[in-house]
Amino acid sequence: MSKAVTVAGIDCGTNSIRLMVAQVDDAGMHVVVPRIMRVVRLGQGIDETHRFADEALERTYAACREFADVLGKHPVDALRFVATSATRDARNREDFENTVEQILGVRPDVIPGTEEARLSFLGATSVVDQQAGGVAKPPYVVVDLGGGSTEVVLGGEGDDADTVQAAFSMNIGSVRMSERHLHTDPPTQEEIAAATRDIDERITEAFRTVSAGTARTIIGVSGTVTTMTGLALGLSTYDKSAVDGARVSIDAVCDTDDRILRMSRADRAQYPVIHPGRIDVIGGGALVWTRVLRRIQEAAREQGHDIDSYMASEHGLLDGIVRDLAQRVRGGGEA
């Protein structure tokens, strides 16, 4: 038997930052501190400036100080701070890394898109049997739709459900598409068309690497996916237990995506399911989600089978960070 360890993971993305603390032993992962999420919009304006905005840094540092207080009450054997799309693009990222290290005592690990994809797949597939009641068919295609990038990962065949066959990280996401194309409130048809062309070009590039049409199950993770799932399910307020593991018709969510995309921000604000920090960018994320789902459907039909639904999951990159770190610590590897 391997020793039990307590580890913490921080997922610092383009729109939000999350913390989770868990104990991992031979029986699996036991959450000590359920995920804490703060919308900090670290990637504000970064698609245009390639620099972190001062106010975005301050919002992120405030969240880091909050996380430091939590970690002070829950000592851990190891902590990993993973930074993704926005940090990869920022020219002034060294200042950010230095300040985070001062606050939390660990330096951000700025991972490439391929590593982000692997960890997202690990997190999403780790609970797929419990979520789906054992009926989810491999291979799986996991889509992690973030603020700055979207990862498409294929795998899960054979004896090891965690095995990744192919992965690609696209530079499209809710914040990036909204800032790049959807400037009017509500967006114009011309803006939507331009964003759609941009998204489709990136998906075509991704599908040269990832044969998404061979998948039998689509698993969607991230705030955009879970938010749009909650709306498609008709929830009046966000309910994690209702969303996590839900099977949703692709037609139904695409109709919901289009409706939310074309709304004004004031109209979106009338839906409590949408976090206030996502109201201005959820339209861009919804459009990405629709195009990825439709393109996977088309690719599957070319392979001779139909996919008419997806599974939503609350378990993605953050779960993967925690599980991967615990495996390394328990195996005696470097934390």
pLDDT per position as a tens digit, 281-293: 999 999 999 999 9
pLDDT-derived band at 86 (thresholds 50, 70, 90) equals confident
The answer on pLDDT for 303 being more than 50 is yes
Domains and CATH numbers, the chain: 5-112 (3.30.420.40), 127-314 (3.30.420.150)
- Mean pLDDT score across all residues of the chain: 93
68: its two tokens:
């430091």
Residue 334's pLDDT is what?
43
Average pLDDT over residues 177-182: 98
Q: Which amino acid is at 282?
A: I
pLDDT at 160: 64
Query: pLDDT (tens digit, 9 = 90+) per residue, 200-233?
Result: 999 999 999 999 999 999 999 999 999 999 999 9
Least confident range from 161-175, 247-261, 298-312: namely 161-175
Q: Is the pLDDT of residue 317 over 90?
A: yes
Check: CB of residue 91 under 8 Å from CB of residue 289: no
- pLDDT over 60 at 322, yes or no: yes
pTM of this structure? 0.93
The answer on pLDDT for 42 being more than 70 is: yes
* Structure confidence at residue 227 (pLDDT): 98
Average pLDDT over residues 84-108: 94
Of the candidates 17, 19, 143, 155, the one whose C-alpha atom is nearest the C-alpha of residue 84 is 17
pLDDT surpassing 90 at residue 182: yes
Residue by residue, what is the 3-state secondary structure of the chain? CCCCEEEEEEEECCCEEEEEEEEEECCEEEEEEEEEEEECCCCCCHHHHCCCCHHHHHHHHHHHHHHHHHHHHCCCCEEEEEECHHHHHCCCHHHHHHHHHHHHCCCCEECCHHHHHHHHHHHHHCCHHHHHCCCCCCCEEEEEECCCCEEEEEECCCCCCCCEEEEEEECCCHHHHHHHCCCCCCCCHHHHHHHHHHHHHHHHHHHCCCCHHHCCEEEEECHHHHHHHHHHCCCCCCCHHHHCCCEEEHHHHHHHHHHHHCCCHHHHCCCCCCCHHHCCCHHHHHHHHHHHHHHHHHHHHHCCCCCCEEEEECCCHHHHHHHHHHHHHHCCCCC
- % of the chain beyond a pLDDT of 70: 95
Strands 309-313 and 217-221: parallel
Other C-beta atoms lying within 10 Å of the C-beta of residue 214: 16
pLDDT at 24 over 70: yes
- Check if the beta carbon of residue 22 is closer than 8 Å to that of residue 6: yes
Per-residue model confidence (pLDDT) at position 3: 83
Torsion angle, CA of 186/60/69/319, rounded to 10 degrees?
70
pLDDT bracket for residue 331 (50, 70, 90):
confident
pLDDT band for position 52 (cuts 50, 70, 90):
very high
